């Protein structure tokens, strides 16, 4: 989470020119009438003494659920594997994206950032949450976008296959288990895991994978570049237009080619609709610091997803670049920190100005205050 220095002075002049208007409950009464991640629950997410299995070895996920809703527990094989900080992370994801079964059905939802360091098991936490989500809430589709082997950040790692292997390890399909498997020991997953990678060369093949996922539900794993290409249908159209040249002779209409083009455009339209309009119930972005450039085409494509239940996973030090931090927050909670310029005036400049070798005591004081305010704003949905 964002690292800050506790403030020496909390009170600032109400006339400070930097006190720009940031989104609040009054700005959007419909979406913020109940804000997930209260101070009490957000504190429990990082308290390992509270994040423990019960006497029967079960892990309760919905610790803050209303009295008329049932307890939701992790699958037994997951309950035996997760560590206290992972239990806290799973509960953190549930409280932000679901909150309660009634709330899930009646609102557009919220997003969050899971910023645990590398090696702390973010993938297991997400898989555990997805199982609870698809098993109990009525959600049907989850889109998980991950860096692929061709990505510059991990050129030698097939992350798509790693995710698939993790699903099969922790939540095996029923058909892969022996017939006499005790459900009290191992509970199979109730959903399919689809994978869309470079082996699917044609638009028709890619559309078939997306169609199967939309129809059957479950999790769709795909890379960032693949998502960008498939979700921005306009790029295919404009690309084809550039290649076309005005014929010198009579126009000959190839009906077979027209049919192929119509099939292609229908496939692209179906893919775009499934991926972004309306899109999945939940979208998860692994290595989410790739969204650091809010003007990049990948970031713009991701922001087109209608679902507001968005998760960013990152082990990247969020405090290294405040604007990159704003981009990730703006993806999971659009407009929560205002525009980029408002955020820069309110937080980035005062915080950076207070870290210079020639910073005045007033600069340092303002830096500490703004860091504290930023931390307080985000602690409910950034862990």
pLDDT at 126 over 60: yes
Domains of the chain, by residue range, sit at 1-22+337-383, 25-239+266-336
CA distance 383 to 270: 35
Q: How far, in whole angstroms, is CA 240 from its chain's centroid?
A: 32
What distance, in Å, lies between the first and last C-alpha atoms of the chain?
Answer: 5
Query: What is the average per-residue pLDDT within 66-91?
Result: 96
**What pLDDT does 191 receive?**
97
* Spatial CA neighbour of 348 closest among 365, 371, 332: 371
Tokens of 312: 């960013």
Q: What is the CA radius of gyration of the chain?
A: 23
> 313-350, pLDDT tens digit by residue?
998 766 668 998 899 999 999 999 999 999 999 999 99
- Of 8-12, 35-39, 242-246, 311-315, which gets the smallest average pLDDT? 8-12
Residue 276 backbone dihedrals phi, psi, to 5 degrees: -140, -25
DSSP code per residue over 200-218: --SHHHHHHHHHHHHHH-E
Tokens of 120: 């702390």
Q: Tell me what percent of the residues of the chain surpass a pLDDT of 90.
A: 56
Query: What is the average per-residue pLDDT within 58-75?
Result: 94
pLDDT at 128 over 80: yes
Bigger pLDDT: 77 vs 159: 77
Q: Classify 25-239+266-336 by CATH class.
A: alpha beta
CA distance 39 to 239: 50
CA distance 127 to 132: 9
> 278-324, pLDDT tens digit by residue?
889 999 999 887 787 777 888 888 988 999 999 999 987 666 689 98
Non-local CB neighbours of 47 within 8 Å, separated by 6+ positions: 88
**What pLDDT does 276 receive?**
85
Q: Are 375 and 3 in contact (CB under 8 A)?
A: no
Q: Are 286 and 147 in contact (CB under 8 A)?
A: yes
pTM of this prediction? 0.80
Q: Tell me what percent of the residues of the chain surpass a pLDDT of 70.
A: 76
Tokens of 374: 């930023």
CA distance 169 to 162: 10
Q: Where are the beta strands (DSSP E) in 262-346?
A: 282-285, 310-313
């Amino acid at each position: 989470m964002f690292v800050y220095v506790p403030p020496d002075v909390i009170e600032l002049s109400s006339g400070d020119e930097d006190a720009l208007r940031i989104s609040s409950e009054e700005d959007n009464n419909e979406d913020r009438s109940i804000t997930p991640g209260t101070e009490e629950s957000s504190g429990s997410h990082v308290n390992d003494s509270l994040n423990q299995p019960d006497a029967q070895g079960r892990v309760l996920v919905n610790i803050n659920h209303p009295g008329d809703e049932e307890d939701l527990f992790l699958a037994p094989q997951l309950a035996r594997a997760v560590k206290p900080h992972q239990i806290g992370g799973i509960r953190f994801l549930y409280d932000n994206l679901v909150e309660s079964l009634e709330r899930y059905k009646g609102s557009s939802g919220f997003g969050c950032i899971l910023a645990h360091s590398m090696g702390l098991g973010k993938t297991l936490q997400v898989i555990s949450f997805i199982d609870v989500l698809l098993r109990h809430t009525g959600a049907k589709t989850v889109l998980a976008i991950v860096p692929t082997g061709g990505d510059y950040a991990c050129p030698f790692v097939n992350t798509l296959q790693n995710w698939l292997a993790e699903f099969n390890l922790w939540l095996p399909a029923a058909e892969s288990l022996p017939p006499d498997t005790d459900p009290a020991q191992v509970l199979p997953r109730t959903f399919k895991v689809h994978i869309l990678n470079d082996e699917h060369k044609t638009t028709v093949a890619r559309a078939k994978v997306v169609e199967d996922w939309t129809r059957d539900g479950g999790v769709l794993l795909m890379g960032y570049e693949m998502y960008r290409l498939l979700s921005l249908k306009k790029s295919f159209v404009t690309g084809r237009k550039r290649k076309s040249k005005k014929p010198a002779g009579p126009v000959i209409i190839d009906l077979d080619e027209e049919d192929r083009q119509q099939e292609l455009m229908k496939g692209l339209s179906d893919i775009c609709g499934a991926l972004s309009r309306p899109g999945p119930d939940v979208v998860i972005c692994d290595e989410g610091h790739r969204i650091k450039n809010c003007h990049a085409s990948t970031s713009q494509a991701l922001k087109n997803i209608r679902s507001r239940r968005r998760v960013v996973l990152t082990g990247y030090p969020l405090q290294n670049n405040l604007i990159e931090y704003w981009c990730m927050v703006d993806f999971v909670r659009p407009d929560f920190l205002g525009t980029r310029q408002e955020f820069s005036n309110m937080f980035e400049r005062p915080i950076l100005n207070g870290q210079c070798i020639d910073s005045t005591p007033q600069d340092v004081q303002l830096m500490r205050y703004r860091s504290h305010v930023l931390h307080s704003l985000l602690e409910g949905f950034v862990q």
